[in-house]
């Protein structure tokens, strides 16, 4: 099951939510610490966008995400592969994040330099 990471704007804590994609479509996620709905999505798995298609589901069911949190380079490569797999232009932001991860930069560092990431959705 995919992990969605957020920062809570109300209490400032990191929030990790486990949801299926179907649940994510319907959900209005709230902070488990303070109940606020003011959650800002974090860089990481969530930056992969909203995957579509059976092939992608199989990639995830097959554990394609395992260990990526601990290895930014693998994460960056995976993001690029997924983008190609989907045959879509994921946007400049996605490309930049994937490239910086592949270069070994930490997700936290990237997020700090891109404060608006994920805010426009």
Q: Which residues form the interface with Zn ion (CB under 5 A)?
A: 8, 10-11, 31, 33-34, 36
Cβ-based nearer residue to Zn ion, 38 or 52:
38
The rounded distance, in Å, linking the Cα atoms of 90 and 56 is: 15
Smallest distance from Zn ion to CB 8, Å:
3
The rounded distance, in Å, linking the Cα atoms of 107 and 44 is: 6
Cβ-based nearer residue to Zn ion, 11 or 103:
11
Cβ-based nearer residue to Zn ion, 35 or 104:
35
Q: How far apart are the first and last CA of the chain?
A: 22
Residue with tokens 């860089």: 43
Cβ-based nearer residue to Zn ion, 36 or 56:
36
Smallest distance from Zn ion to CB 51, Å:
27
Smallest distance from Zn ion to CB 93, Å:
25
The rounded distance, in Å, linking the Cα atoms of 45 and 18 is: 11
3-state secondary structure of 15: strand
């Amino acid at each position: 099951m995919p992990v969605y990471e957020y920062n809570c704007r109300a209490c400032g804590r990191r929030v990790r939510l486990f949801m299926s994609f179907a649940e994510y479509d319907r959900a209005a996620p709230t902070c488990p610490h303070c109940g606020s709905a003011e959650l800002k999505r974090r860089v990481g798995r969530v930056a992969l966008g909203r995957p579509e298609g059976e092939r992608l589901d199989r990639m995830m069911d097959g554990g394609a995400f395992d260990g990526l949190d601990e290895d930014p380079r693998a994460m960056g490569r995976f993001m690029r592969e997924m983008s190609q797999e989907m045959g879509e232009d994921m946007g400049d932001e996605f490309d930049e994040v994937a490239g910086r991860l592949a270069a070994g930069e930490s997700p936290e560092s990237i997020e700090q330099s891109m404060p608006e990431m994920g805010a426009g959705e």
